Amino acid sequence: MSVRKEMLETMCLVANGLHTGETTRINHEQCPSGWDSKRRFYVTRKPDVLLGYCHNCQNSVTKYVGPKDRYRHDARYTTVQKDPEFQVLHAVSFNDDSNIPVEAHTWRVNNELTRAMCVNNRIQFSSEHFGIVTPVYNMEHRIGYQVRPLVQLGPKYITMLENDKLMGGFRIQSGKHSQQLPVVITEDYISAVHVHEAGYLAHCNYGVQTKPRMLYAMVNYFGTVRPYIVWLDNDSDHVRDKAKEIADVLRMFGATVHVELTAEDPKYVPTEIASIVGSYL
């Protein structure tokens, strides 16, 4: 892919969080037809693609942004629910030994989670789905939950949301953190929990998709003084590309960003989080 096309594609990401049919516009940096300060690069969100067009140089680009990561939404469950309380699933606490099967405890131990970490971070067990229940946040607000079935038959995750708000966030406590504490952006909730345990601010991206609207809200909330570290599960070139894409968008919003490309998900290396994050500070 040419550098110019790649740059146009990255610019299109500014519209990724928009609703279908909406258009936004930005300056075409390094526009071949001359300096653009009138935001002449238009991007329109279509169902699965972003269409970019520069009214200065007349270059156009199409960027596919349809679902392709591992978080498949189950149409039966990704519906509007006004009250997404866990009781709907009869989810039980990890402290309730008589109702937690050995498979769930095995999952907990494999993920290096203590009972207290599960209780404090709203990680529960659902007998209805025979799976692990974790919350979904929009910044600090809980907007639903995900179930990870312990027996793999259907989708890896079943997602139930209160509404169509974007997924992304964690248990954010304003005013409790120093200005310099970094924010680590993770792909999954368990990794966010481990980052939090290690003493850093965690933002769960719920998958590898770039969500500029959510990323903008995050930078707006945490500010641009502290550094941001994008740390996804680097098990493929695709994921590494997505990490760089998220970093590009964060930089567009004025953030200082580092991308961890070598290590696995934080949840696989909980004892190394401090040294890995520390190496960027």
Closest contact distance (angstroms) between CB of 7 and Zn ion is: 10
Residue 28 contacts Zn ion per CB under 5 A: yes
Rounded CA separation 125/208 (Å): 25
Residue 43 contacts Zn ion per CB under 5 A: no
DSSP 258: E
Rounded CA separation 203/186 (Å): 6
Q: List CB contacts of 35: < 8 A, sequence separation 6 or more.
A: none
Rounded CA separation 139/71 (Å): 19
Which amino acid is residue 189, in one-letter code?
A: Y
Q: How far apart are the first and last CA of the chain?
A: 33
Closest contact distance (angstroms) between CB of 201 and Zn ion is: 37
The one among 14, 15, 50, 54 contacting Zn ion by CB under 5 A: 54
3-state secondary structure at position 217: helix
Closest contact distance (angstroms) between CB of 41 and Zn ion is: 6
Residues numbered 161 to 220 that lie near Zn ion (CB under 5 A) are none
Closest contact distance (angstroms) between CB of 269 and Zn ion is: 43
The one among 26, 57, 139, 150 contacting Zn ion by CB under 5 A: 57
Q: List CB contacts of 113: < 8 A, sequence separation 6 or more.
A: 123, 190, 193
Residue 7 contacts Zn ion per CB under 5 A: no
- Applying CB under 5 A, the span of 27-35, 86-94, 106-114, 143-151 interacting with Zn ion comes to 27-35
Please work out, in degrees rounded to the nearest 5, the angle formed at the alpha carbon of residue 208 by the alpha carbons of 185 and 136.
Answer: 70
Residue 8 contacts Zn ion per CB under 5 A: no
39 is written with which tokens?
Answer: 């935001």
The one among 7, 18, 31, 276 contacting Zn ion by CB under 5 A: 31
Closest contact distance (angstroms) between CB of 49 and Zn ion is: 19
Residue 26 contacts Zn ion per CB under 5 A: no
Closest contact distance (angstroms) between CB of 34 and Zn ion is: 8
Binding-site size for Zn ion (CB under 5 A) equals: 5
Which residues of this protein are in contact with Zn ion, per CB under 5 A?
28, 31, 54, 56-57
